[in-house]
A and B are shown apart, each in its own frame.
Chain A
């Protein structure tokens, strides 16, 4: 199975600062059809996860433009500029290029 390794495990931040989360895959996530099925989810405290980013860098409906996904191959990053209180929680990367689909272990964005 593809292993997605997220770093850091916890990211202390000050509101208004930028945060960056890395997601590295044990294999390239480029599908044979040329697409890269890499998504990012945020699970706020006490809530269900919500989709933020799909296809590496596309924001889902209603997601603010301070969330920026980037990367290629097996190395991906989610940047959150100007962190706001509602951005706190656990972020997960997810891949569906290879079967079975797998999640990263999560990165907790918390206040410093």
Chain B
């Protein structure tokens, strides 16, 4: 069974940093691209960042580019999101999600974790 467990969220002051983790199990982590998606309280979904299976390809939303860094450690089955220069508008539930495939056709967010809450406030 695919499992994704996020951690690392919490209350942080504006301008500070925080690092999120997503521990994967139930599948061969190194074979799949991974993503971070966030959801501000009471709002919709926003894609944040993506990383390919071998970290060769990395993409960010403009709202976080230059402040957030997505990375992964395939030996530890773990996805990360390093967040710096945090702003109040970064307050959200952060989900990690795994890619899927139908043959060669990509499915963007086939499996989701339960999320970890980041609150940016003084």
Contact = CB atoms under 8 A, between A and B. Distances in A.
Nearest to A58: B102
A100 B108 CA distance: 13
Nearest to A54: B107
A92 B107 contact: no
Contacts of A49: 37, 45, 95, 109, 112
Given A99-B59, A106-B44, A48 B108 contact: no
A100 B109 contact: no
B75 interface: no
B100 interface: yes
A103 B112 contact: no
Size category of the binding interface on chain B: 20 to 34
B2 to A, nearest CB: 11
Interface in A32-58: 35, 37, 39, 41, 43, 48-51, 54-55, 58
Interface residues of A, number: 25
Interface string B20-61: 000000000000000001000000111100000000000101
B109 A51 contact: yes
Contacts of A94: 45, 108-109
A104 to B, nearest CB: 8
Interface string B78-119: 000000000000000001000010100111111111110000
Contact of B108 (A39, A50, A90, A104): A39
A105 interface: yes
Given A39-B108, A103-B45, 18 more contacts: A48-B95, A48-B113, A48-B114, A48-B115, A50-B112, A51-B109, A54-B100, A58-B102, A60-B107, A60-B110, A92-B44, A96-B106, A99-B59, A100-B47, A100-B62, A101-B108, A102-B47, A106-B44
Interface of A: 35, 37, 39, 41, 43, 48-51, 54-55, 58, 60, 90, 92, 94, 96, 99-106
The 6 A-B pairs of least Cβ separation, nearest first, read A48-B112, A103-B45, A54-B107, A106-B44, A101-B47, A96-B108
